[in-house]
Structure 1
Amino acid sequence: MSHRKSTERMRKVGPYGVETLPQVLSASIDAPGAPAACRGGARTERARLHWHRGDGGDPAALAEEFLAAHGLPLDDLSRPTPAHPHAATGVCGAALYLSAAAGALLAGAPTGAPEPAPTLPDLAVVVYEHGRTPTTRPTPPGPWRLGAWTESWTPQQHAAAVDAVRAAIGRGDVYQTNLVGHAAAPYTGDPLPALARLGALPGARYGGVLTGDGWAIGCASPETLVEVTDGHLITRPIKGTRPATAAGRAELLTSAKERAEHIMIVDLERNDLARVARTGTVTVDDLFTVRRWCDLWQAESTVRAAAANGLGLADLLRATCPGGSVTGAPKHAALTQINALEPVGRGASMGALGWVAPGRVDLGLTIRTAAADGHHLHTWAGGGITWDSDPAAEVAEAAAKVTPIRATLAGR
């Protein structure tokens, strides 16, 4: 099937109804990264594309072609942003979501683990235009109740997977692998307000919600997967976590293990950007800067470069997805190990979610992310494993990352 035929078959034009997950018409329900001028009632949906791995084709090419067909050409990100990008078409931009599995597919890595929430697409593109439409608020939803969480693996199984990664490092198969666990909880009521609360968590640079027919994704990510503005590329890998206390900050800053793990991923991200950058322009700023997310300190660096002439969205996605901080190094070997060790797929987590517009891309890495299908909420959390990793500490770190997410979803 050609890319064009695949795009036409999966295109959904016009406002998209949500049946099992009723829409909450609130200005706070917006895609992560959307500019203020394109949030809330200031924009309406024009067209939508959903894609699953079983549909065939190249998701990166499909996304670029679909956007171009709806007034958002992103075939040359090295050019400056137009002064008034929506003046001719009325289109202000689009929300873009790409799953971790789709990213692994782009990287040529295996993606065989079963998905815990198969109703979620692996690619979603939603094009918006400026303008207001009359809306009526739906009947207020019933009481919200979130049931008990069921983990996809036990702490013992998680710890055993950490030991398996350490053994692989000892053999020289990988240098670092990121392991992620999943959990699901049943709910009653409307999950959208719960998912929208995630975006208000402290440090949520990519806070927002994206919805579809029978699914929704809520994001509280602090991490930039890739940002492009006027031909300038930026990625901000996060690696290294401690409790947000004075002692935790000091421990993070002085940890040789965390710094080595972080620098390894920064080097991987430098290489990823170099694939799509002008030669000699890749630089690293603010190496190992400690920033706060909720009750955690995290180490972040900034990698910059100038986009190569003619760089399009599809090649950008192929170079950067999935993000190195949630895979490991070397990336392909780490993805192969992830597929063998994690019992279920990563679903909405560890992928990309954000906003694209003419000359502008701003995608967050979907860490600190939850998703809803018609019956369950889903969360994911994990961390990078190196030779010096302690299995019990890695299990505890994953729990610390997901605790604020689950508390927020429950309404606490």
Structure 2
Amino acid sequence: MKTILDFSNPHQPESARLRHEFGQPLQHWAAHSAAEVPALLNAVQQAAEQGLWCVGWLAYEAATAFDPAYAGAVHAAQPGQPLAWFGAHQPPQALAACASENPSTPRDVHWQSPLTREQFNTSVARIHEAIAAGDCYQINYTTALQAAANGAGSESAQAWFARLQSAQPGGYAALIDSADMQVMSVSPELFFDWDGSQILTRPMKGTAARGATPEADAQAAQTLRSSAKERAENVMIVDLLRNDLSRIAVPHSVKVPQLFQLQALPAVWQMTSDVVAQTRAGLRLVDVFSALFPCGSITGAPKRQAMRLIHALEPGPRGVYCGALGVVRPGLVPGRIHATFNVPIRTVVQHDGQLRCGIGSGITASAQADGEWEEWQHKQVFAKSLSPR
């Protein structure tokens, strides 16, 4: 078992990355029911307060642990997978070595989508009907690409993770190996960074394909920056995050210091905004998750109604995809922790002989099926890096 953490510094992206490698955990926790998730998070916090580093994830379906209203808005957990898993490690002493290619790694991954173009068009039309009826403003609609893992195991996951990082560098990347399941995330999206006092969220909404030439690329960025549709998609989620943060924030401390920033990824431009707050004294990690999870950027708005429609449109659970993945470690202030989590998009999960990779986008009133379908094709380019060229 090997866990690799390679996270950007959310506050200073150009500074040194949080980059470490961990072996077998000293202990681990798995929650197989919603009732077990809060106790797991409390155990993780206690371990971090005692000096350990805890790395793990929560599945999207763990939402029911934080709000009973989500019970009818998410599917049952992915078969054979827990709702949450964390491993505890001694503080790392050295920078991680990069994962490397392994001759035993399967040479080809053939992704298949269970969603046809006709089904996609029908779902987008249904979302537009719900928006027109006033039921919601935006829905993050997704599907899961699938492929055979061909008997691959932990060593293959390490090599695949290296390929994914090469195709999608930077961001908040991690490989978490829980023996029978490997999660390979190269997500560019920050969920939250919380030092026990200050919290930062950075929702990512708004996408444009990169241009083939420097001139075309600059034009693509400018078009995204000035797009009324993409800006509206982004600000809807910013407002949702502001509301979620207000549940744990000191009154009047929720701010939006940056709006509509562009982030260059290999295949697409992405628009992000920052939402920050000072959190109330005495909060625990489970309180932060209760207020924020799942991240509004992968549900839509309003959150509960969006999740109900997602449940009706998507035939099965999302699993780790669209949940949360990150590290909880000792804070700089004694007695505090520091938690950093991504939104696990651009994430591949290997389990039970299969690979899964979610793809999705936010559908608004002005979204067109053709444009959204094309966006999905651009977003899944990273997953094709699992097959060597």
1:149 matches 2:127 = no
Aligned equivalent of 2:13? none
- 8 Å contact kept, 2:58–2:324: yes
1:240 matches 2:206 = yes
Aligned equivalent of 2:311? 339
The change in CA–CA distance for 1:104 and 1:385 in structure 2 (over 3 A counts) is: farther
Aligned equivalent of 2:361? 383
TM-fit CA distance, 1:105: 4.6
TM-fit CA distance, 1:195: 2.6
Aligned equivalent of 1:113? 75
1:92 matches 2:52 = yes
Worse overlay, 291-300 or 325-334:
291-300
Work out which of the residue numbers 257, 275, 280 in structure 1 matches 2:247. Answer: 275
In structure 1, C-alpha distance between the alignment counterparts of 2:41 and 2:8, rounded to whole Å: 18
In structure 1, C-alpha distance between the alignment counterparts of 2:158 and 2:169, rounded to whole Å: 20
Aligned equivalent of 1:72? 48
- 8 Å contact kept, 2:5–2:19: no
Please list, as runs of the form range in 1=range in 2, the aligned pairs for 1:12-411 lying within 5 A after superposition. Answer: 23=1, 29-33=3-7, 39-40=20-21, 45-53=25-33, 56-59=34-37, 61-68=38-45, 71-73=47-49, 91-107=51-67, 108-109=69-70, 110-113=72-75, 118-130=79-91, 142-188=104-150, 189=152, 190-229=156-195, 231-244=197-210, 245-358=217-330, 359-404=337-382, 406-411=383-388
TM-fit CA distance, 1:403: 1.5
- 8 Å contact kept, 2:209–2:375: no
The change in CA–CA distance for 1:141 and 1:212 in structure 2 (over 3 A counts) is: farther
TM-fit CA distance, 1:40: 2.2
The change in CA–CA distance for 1:374 and 1:390 in structure 2 (over 3 A counts) is: same
The change in CA–CA distance for 1:235 and 1:213 in structure 2 (over 3 A counts) is: same
User: What value does the CA root-mean-square deviation take over the aligned residues?
Assistant: 2.4
- 8 Å contact kept, 1:111–1:339: yes
In structure 1, C-alpha distance between the alignment counterparts of 2:73 and 2:165, rounded to whole Å: 29
The change in CA–CA distance for 1:250 and 1:68 in structure 2 (over 3 A counts) is: closer
The change in CA–CA distance for 1:112 and 1:312 in structure 2 (over 3 A counts) is: closer
Q: Aligned partner of 1:368: which letter? A: R
TM-fit CA distance, 1:202: 4.1
Aligned equivalent of 1:20? none
3-state secondary structure, aligned to 1:378: strand
Structure 2-normalised TM-score? 0.85
TM-fit CA distance, 1:106: 2.4
Number of aligned residues: 358
In structure 2, C-alpha distance between the alignment counterparts of 1:37 and 1:317, rounded to whole Å: 22
In structure 2, C-alpha distance between the alignment counterparts of 1:317 and 1:104, rounded to whole Å: 11
In structure 2, C-alpha distance between the alignment counterparts of 1:37 and 1:205, rounded to whole Å: 11
TM-fit CA distance, 1:67: 2.1
Q: Aligned partner of 1:328: which letter? A: G
Q: Aligned partner of 1:72: which letter? A: A
Aligned equivalent of 1:76? none
In structure 1, C-alpha distance between the alignment counterparts of 2:316 and 2:219, rounded to whole Å: 35
- 8 Å contact kept, 1:199–1:206: no
Residues 149-204 of structure 1: per-residue CA shift (max 9 Å, x gap) = 22121121112111111100011111111001111111234233103432344453
3-state secondary structure, aligned to 1:286: strand
3-state secondary structure, aligned to 1:150: coil
Q: Which runs of 4+ in 1 moved over 6 A?
A: 34-38
- 8 Å contact kept, 2:185–2:344: yes
In structure 1, C-alpha distance between the alignment counterparts of 2:272 and 2:169, rounded to whole Å: 12
In structure 1, C-alpha distance between the alignment counterparts of 2:162 and 2:169, rounded to whole Å: 15
In structure 1, C-alpha distance between the alignment counterparts of 2:357 and 2:269, rounded to whole Å: 20
Structure 1-normalised TM-score? 0.81
- 8 Å contact kept, 2:184–2:347: yes
Aligned equivalent of 1:82? none
In structure 1, C-alpha distance between the alignment counterparts of 2:271 and 2:18, rounded to whole Å: 31
The change in CA–CA distance for 1:155 and 1:32 in structure 2 (over 3 A counts) is: farther
Q: Matched residues, percent identical?
A: 28
In the alignment, structure 1 segments of 5+ residues that lack a partner are: 1-22, 74-88, 133-139
TM-fit CA distance, 1:398: 1.4
In structure 2, C-alpha distance between the alignment counterparts of 1:114 and 1:311, rounded to whole Å: 29
In structure 1, C-alpha distance between the alignment counterparts of 2:92 and 2:326, rounded to whole Å: 21
